[in-house]
Amino acid sequence: MTAERLYNTMDEERFASEEASDGWGTRALLLVRSTDLVFQPDGPYFWKDCIYPGALSGVYGPTGAGKTNFALYVAHRIATGQPLFGRRVTATRVLLVALEGAASLPKRVAAVQSQYGLAPDLFVYAQPFRLLEHGEAERLSAAILQHDIGLCIIDTLSRTLPGLNENDGDTMSRLVGALDVIRARTKAHMMVVHHPGKDEDRGMRGHSALPAAADLILRIRKLETGIRSVEIEKARDHAGGEIGCFSLRVVELGFDADGDPVTSCYVEELSDRPPAREAGKSKAKALSSAYRNALSDLKRLLEDAQHVQRTAPRPGMPMVDCVRREALRDLMQENGRFDEPPGTPLSPRSRGRLRDALGALEAHGLALSTNEWVWCP
């Protein structure tokens, strides 16, 4: 039994009008032998290693990080079948439930389409929507089925819960339950855009029910350079790590009645980085002292054969000389780069400093990293 068939069978059991009895007057549980499960290496996807049919994902980042523009960019790329940050895409119809910044949505869509082409399979809904109100999950499910939507993006979660408490476990569990119902009935992937908490390093704002249920969580960070970094914070079948960087570019769309230019922003992927060995010296001067120290510690480790391991840090990459991320962390701590003394756990603030340092080095083309490895390009 394939994963898709198992999923469909479970849904049929869940929503069947005639429920099988187990002799106790209750519905019988569906049990499947592990030997009947069939792994499919070529299973369907919309964004390879990230977005799959019927799954749940979350995207979060602070105000000004560009998460709304990022969500629109993801929607456009998948609706048109164009690669995303170097990963393959299978085209499907996309619904963007634009509850935040709805007034400027036409401009943002025009900006993206001016750069990347028209997307007739990208649908939008920009009216108030309260997911937990009676009948709303069913209404959204019906729209998804009617238009054969494969990916539905809700931007943002808080706009679907007006007047409700995101920290309340019952509220967030009901939200996850509503998303589960939609996914089960439509087989669409549900993506939710959200905000971080007061301490950004502790993840999404509110109760942990949503991040616990999500198959994928993407975090968007705005670096000191103004570049945005996208990293996989959680993935059920992958190690995670940064998947790419982007910037927000301004495009002129026309002129208003006063003759002034009308502009908006679009996402531009930063896939071409300058060679570190050629541009490293001048690039390093643009770094803060903390980031230069991190680069110095990294180079020191890469010169020590005891710490270097030749491996492919990401699937499909060639073998390169890497050091473990924890080794860099330990050396930085030993050199006094953090507040905590050597041998003691890092605080969330210090862990954030390490992430910011690696993100800045990557943005300058000086280093690359995953959750496990760090290396120089």
pLDDT digit string (tens) for the chain, length 377 residues: 455 555 454 454 444 444 455 555 667 788 888 888 877 776 799 999 899 999 999 999 998 899 999 999 999 999 999 999 989 999 999 999 999 888 899 999 999 999 999 999 999 999 999 999 999 999 999 999 999 999 999 998 999 998 899 999 999 999 999 999 999 999 999 999 999 988 777 789 999 999 999 999 999 998 877 789 999 988 877 667 788 899 999 999 999 899 988 999 999 998 644 333 323 334 444 678 888 899 999 999 999 888 999 988 876 667 889 999 999 999 999 999 988 888 888 888 888 888 888 888 887 878 888 888 998 87
- Total domains, the chain: 3
The token pair that represents 65 in the structure block = 């990080």
Do the beta carbons of residue 73 and residue 85 sit within 8 Å?
no
Query: Where do the DSSP E strands lie in 79-163?
Result: 93-98, 122-125, 149-155
Task: Identify the DSSP state of 158.
Answer: G
The token pair that represents 149 in the structure block = 């939507």
- Cα(194)–Cα(213) distance, integer angstroms: 14
- If asked whether residues 208 and 315 sit together in one domain, one would say no
Do the beta carbons of residue 59 and residue 191 sit within 8 Å?
yes
Neighbouring residues of 272: CB distance < 8 A, sequence distance ≥ 6: none
Any idea which residue has 């301004």 for tokens?
250
In a domain, 284, yes or no: yes
pLDDT for res 280: 37
Last residue of a domain, one of 269, 292, 307: 269
- If asked whether residues 280 and 364 sit together in one domain, one would say yes
- Cα(144)–Cα(94) distance, integer angstroms: 9
- If asked whether residues 159 and 244 sit together in one domain, one would say yes
* Number of residues that make up the chain: 377
- For residue 228, the enclosing domain spans 56-269
Q: ∠97-100-106 over CA atoms, to 5°? A: 75
- If asked whether residues 120 and 173 sit together in one domain, one would say yes
pLDDT for res 42: 65
- Cα(342)–Cα(232) distance, integer angstroms: 28
Any idea which residue has 């009935």 for tokens?
185
- If asked whether residues 248 and 265 sit together in one domain, one would say yes
In a domain, 41, yes or no: no
pLDDT for res 2: 52
pLDDT for res 302: 92
Q: What is the DSSP string of 12-75?
A: HHHH-SSPPB-SSSSBPP----GGG-B--TT---SBTTTB-TT-EEEEE--TTS-HHHHHHHHH
pTM: 0.68
